[in-house]
Structure 1
Amino acid sequence: MKRGRSEWSVYLSAVGPILKALPLLRLRADSRHTIADYIERQVAKYADLPFILFEDRRITYREYNAMANRIAHWGLSVGLKAGDTIGFMMENRAEYVPVWSGFSKIGVKAALINTNLVGASVVHALEVAGAERLLLGPECAPNVADAALSNLPVYVLPEEGAADAGVPGAEDIRRALAEQPDSDPDAALRASVCTGDSAFHIYTSGTTGLPKATNFNHQKLMAGGVSGALLGLGKGEVVYCPLPLYHSAGGIGAVMIAMGAGGAVAVAREFSASRFWDDVRRYDAKGVIYIGELCRFLLNRPPDPRDGEHGLRWMFGIGLRADVWEPFQERFRIPRIVEGYGATEANVGGVNFSGKVGSVGKIRGGLLLRYDIERDELVRDAKGRYVECGPGEAGELLGRIPAGSKRMLRQFQGYTDPEATERKILRDVKKPGDAYFRSGDLLRRDDKGYYYFVDRIGDTFRWKGENVSTQEVAEALSAFPGVETANVYGVEVPGQEG
């Protein structure tokens, strides 16, 4: 079983696409090149190749662009303009990516709301993103039935071929979309949008408090297109995405890997352990985007004679525990597992191309500081200085924020809430005036420079691939009659991720 390749061999094999992408990676924050420009460039190159595969639908790059353009023109027709934000809540469907892509063409940011949220949690998500409207899939209507949306305009977009939505208080936009032109909107409509501005908002629970809306800039989104070359995805090949499109792993990772390579993303409506391998074979997928929980679910299923019958070359994701990694790779005959580490808002991360079991790779620009779990604080020495970890010692990972640097991939843009952003920055760490992003994660590094995830710190816990805010759970429990106070904290559950 092939375990992986050296990091340098991976980069050398992709040197051509990386060199072509350098102009994008070197864009200044104040340049005017956005994800909409990137989309239109890729569409021109791969127009008639498949881009989105969903159940029995096959959507080419040209058709995807037309869908996005209708969304853009509809947005203009209802008064949306560059700089506005619209809440977007939809389960995995063929329309998902065209919707946020269309909004980007007129400089509008979509706030990608978790479809597990209901009521007050949806209201909070809209408020922290500054969303002035909400677009729903009708499948999410029950999520907002009890939400206090006041005068917020709500729109609903059913699936192609579905019956009229009939969602109370919401306007069905399907007919209005059909009347819109499918031509690219004038790029001047987004002329005020810069490369360093937010392309859309994705939510994270962070380490404290309620979920926050992250600022995810255009360059960071476009940079995801390089990943396809590093993973070896070819033009016309398929990456399978069984993860929610409102999260960065699926919605950015899978989509941009495919788009950057001229490939296709096969989107599952939801993860199903029983259908997973049938889907992989059906789409002839060459790659899969995973989270560790997914791999454990698959491994726990009864053995099947067809377990190793597929055309996969790699699986790329996060959160695969060492005790699952090897049995999973052996049983399902996965040629390469590429485990990574990162967070939606982070300026630091790693990718393990070498296949070293349990590792998230070598993290450049990272700093591990000793952390006292009992006191819930970083350790200082007798002179008040932070203490760096040695090999084998767990500590909190920090990412250096370069002062005055125009390299946006190393900057920390944080959240829509400036105070929440500032709370994630640690200053005067190694010298006066420096600044570092606090990941809220404990990692350790071995003597060869490989990093390993250890645990999450703070007031959140992981469950079924989601970061869950203990404050949100406590507030939900406190709403029940007879509950005066609720205190929630995470515990380790044997046989479960998180």
Structure 2
Amino acid sequence: MDAILAALVALMALAAAMAAVLSTLSKAAIFALLAVAPCVYRYRKWIYVFVKTLPRDSKFLWRYANGMVRSKRWGRQNATVASLFTQRALKNPDAPCFIMASKSNQVARAMQEHLGLKRGDVVCVFMPNCGEFVWSWLGVSKLGAVSALINSNLRHKPLLHCIQVAKARAILYSEHLASALEEIRDQLPPELKLFQLYGQPAPGVMDLGQEMDKHPPDYPVVSDPPQYKDTLLYIYTYLLVVVATVHMLGLKSSDRMYNSLPLYHTAGGVVGTGAALVDGIPSVLRAKFSASNFWADCIKFKVPQINEIYGATEGNANISAVGFLPKLVPTCLHPIALVRADEHGALTRGPDGLCIRCLPSIKENAAQMGAVGFLPKLVPTCLHPIALVRADEHGTLTRGPDGLCIRCLPNEPGMFIGLIAQGNASREYHGYVDKKDSNTKLERDIFRKGDAAFVSGDILVADELGYLYFRDRTGDTYKWKGENVATAEVENALGPTLDQRGCVVYGVSIPQTEGRAGMVAIADPAGAMDLRKLARDLDDSLPSYARPLFLRIMDKDLEITGTFKLKKLQYQKEGFDPDVIKEPLYFRAGAEFVPVTSQLFNDICHGRVKL
């Protein structure tokens, strides 16, 4: 009763205050307020979104404009990564970085001497994460040659395929991966030159370190120097990503970047190195990502800001979410938070049953729902270089009566696409080395007749504020251990072993685990599968991340019909639960496949089994 009386008193006081204010206003002012009020009410949601996103979008547009101006200037100067790095090294020769200028120059001179390497030639770089990886391709780039960065996890046929597709003149590799090259050496073209860094090279292999020591650390002399628009790496248009990294993240010379991602991918090899090479922003390079050491490293190097990026190496649809917890705003008002969690990702709760916020500089796991980017609300959708459009469950774009694509509404999942505009550095599409593969990622007549877009194959969703969240991957690929796995590649690798048996490969979700684990359904009505041999053959033909973790042995032939894709989706939904699937299920444990029991299923789902 007391609370009700207090509320009434407060309302009366508020009414009295409003009456006092109105009494001081002229009749014209009161009329104007009354006229505007319905309009404000009608567009209240739009006004809320505008006010909410104004600081974010203003910052984005300012940084984007600065980045584009800088990119245009580099274009007019015909600048390259090598020339910009040289300028930076001369200006600040003692500034910390993860490489030394002299080493890249010596690599270039050694390649000139033994290969006559020139502009447009290709060299494979096959190394684990290390500073040598970067100065190797940087030296190659000073001659105008292209470096094909090879995934250090590849072995056997996949490794041989990547080398052959690149049509390289040489391979630069470290002693750690020498055995992988020896396994396929007799299948390599005889004219391909091998250069090993460190260790004792096999007969016929040149010692890269010794060859480099024969040359002075001076910049190589080239008759046909590299140009601004030349291909640098067979992963992306490099300088544009450097611009985007530095400007969109608001990096300064006093900052540093922590890089634990593979250097053969765009994120680690371009985003993670470009800022150091071109802008002199130091990079903390880790040999391999470690979940158990990640937060310790963040504390050790005082990494105050963690950002999410989303993109495709071969495409033009790339976004980032610049995230931080503002210190000027009370934590109770933050829309996101870091809370304590155990090693399996389960939230830790206090005696009151509520979650516990993480303290600064404390090693704790993050439990945070985050966006991978955003669509600026200050910019009309017709000017956005990226979009979400409707698509069916197979990833086929849905089109309206006019034959054009349909934009998704807020909170409606859709296909993420990048609109192509050749001549615009941020919207050009370069695709793969194989142009036939590149065309499979293109769609035309998107929002008007004659336009074109890169189709990512990923389903994202945008909320009313424009923030984008990743939902799923469509088509015949899935992501596991941070790598893209093509189902067709796995099915082809299985072919010789299965001896004409039908199979279908797909990715299945595992609770509290990022990505999808590989699973294969195999038709074996006779029950004659040799699972040990299958495991050995998969190890010989596929990298570790692409090897299926689960097997489903079918007691009948697979349906090869027009609804085959629907069947594949059904298999995917059923997953690997032995209580759902009555056919034999197996899990890859070590060197063999073991039956999936209810206990094993629960252990996998609760993180008690290492994947």
- Counterpart of 1:397 (choices 399, 410, 416) is 416
2:194–2:205 CA contact under 8 A, matched in 1: yes
TM-fit CA distance, 1:229: 4.9
- Counterpart of 2:194 (choices 142, 149, 155) is 155
Partner of 1:461, secondary structure, is strand
1:74–1:176 CA contact under 8 A, matched in 2: yes
Partner of 1:393, secondary structure, is coil
* Cα distance change, pair 150–485 in 1 and its aligned pair in 2 (3 A): farther
Whole-angstrom distance in 2 between the partners of 1:406 and 1:12? 20
- Counterpart of 1:372 (choices 392, 412, 415) is 392
Letter in 1 for 2:239: Q
1:239–1:254 CA contact under 8 A, matched in 2: yes
Residue in structure 2 matched with residue 332 of structure 1 by the alignment: none
Whole-angstrom distance in 2 between the partners of 1:274 and 1:229? 31
TM-fit CA distance, 1:236: 5.1
Residue in structure 1 matched with residue 575 of structure 2 by the alignment: none
- Counterpart of 2:465 (choices 448, 456, 465) is 448
* Cα distance change, pair 120–432 in 1 and its aligned pair in 2 (3 A): same
Letter in 2 for 1:385: L
Residue in structure 1 matched with residue 56 of structure 2 by the alignment: 7
Number of aligned residue pairs: give it. 409
TM-fit CA distance, 1:140: 1.2
Letter in 2 for 1:103: V
TM-fit CA distance, 1:98: 0.6
- Counterpart of 1:176 (choices 189, 198, 211) is 211
Whole-angstrom distance in 1 between the partners of 2:457 and 2:71? 30
Partner of 2:309, secondary structure, is strand
1:82–1:189 CA contact under 8 A, matched in 2: no
1:110 and 2:147 aligned: yes
TM-fit CA distance, 1:127: 2.4
Residue in structure 2 matched with residue 321 of structure 1 by the alignment: none
Partner of 2:291, secondary structure, is coil
Moved more, 65-74 or 377-386: 377-386
- Counterpart of 2:230 (choices 197, 202, 224) is 197
User: Structure 2 stretches of 5 or more lacking a match?
Assistant: 1-52, 325-335, 337-368, 376-383, 516-611
Letter in 2 for 1:36: A
TM-fit CA distance, 1:249: 0.9
* Cα distance change, pair 481–341 in 1 and its aligned pair in 2 (3 A): closer
* Cα distance change, pair 217–80 in 1 and its aligned pair in 2 (3 A): same
Whole-angstrom distance in 2 between the partners of 1:431 and 1:5? 29
Residue in structure 2 matched with residue 341 of structure 1 by the alignment: 310
- Counterpart of 1:32 (choices 63, 74, 78) is 78
2:478–2:486 CA contact under 8 A, matched in 1: yes
Please show how residues 80-229 of structure 1 align to structure 2 within 5 Å: 80-147=117-184, 148-159=187-198, 164-167=199-202, 169-186=204-221, 188-191=222-225, 193-202=226-235, 216-224=236-244, 227-229=245-247
TM-fit CA distance, 1:185: 1.6
Cα-Cα RMSD: 2.7
1:35–1:222 CA contact under 8 A, matched in 2: no
TM-fit CA distance, 1:195: 1.9
Letter in 2 for 1:24: S
TM-fit CA distance, 1:366: 1.3
Partner of 2:183, secondary structure, is coil
Letter in 1 for 2:56: E
Residue in structure 2 matched with residue 70 of structure 1 by the alignment: 106
* Cα distance change, pair 26–394 in 1 and its aligned pair in 2 (3 A): farther
- Counterpart of 1:249 (choices 242, 248, 267) is 267
1:394–1:445 CA contact under 8 A, matched in 2: yes
Partner of 1:95, secondary structure, is helix
- Counterpart of 1:360 (choices 356, 372, 375) is 372
1:385–1:429 CA contact under 8 A, matched in 2: yes
Whole-angstrom distance in 2 between the partners of 1:21 and 1:45? 24
* Cα distance change, pair 260–37 in 1 and its aligned pair in 2 (3 A): closer
Structure number with larger C-alpha Rg: 2
Whole-angstrom distance in 1 between the partners of 2:154 and 2:498? 21
Whole-angstrom distance in 2 between the partners of 1:391 and 1:351? 19
Query: TM-score w.r.t. structure 2 length?
Result: 0.62
* Cα distance change, pair 152–48 in 1 and its aligned pair in 2 (3 A): same
Query: TM-score w.r.t. structure 1 length?
Result: 0.75
Letter in 1 for 2:304: R
TM-fit CA distance, 1:401: 1.0
1:474 and 2:491 aligned: yes
Residue in structure 1 matched with residue 580 of structure 2 by the alignment: none
**Greater fraction of residues in strand:** 1
Moved more, 147-156 or 407-416: 147-156
Q: Show CA shifts across 1:304-329 (max 9, x none).
A: xxxxxxx22112xxxxxxxxxxxxxx
Partner of 2:497, secondary structure, is coil
* Cα distance change, pair 354–456 in 1 and its aligned pair in 2 (3 A): same
Residue in structure 2 matched with residue 294 of structure 1 by the alignment: none
Whole-angstrom distance in 1 between the partners of 2:178 and 2:93? 34
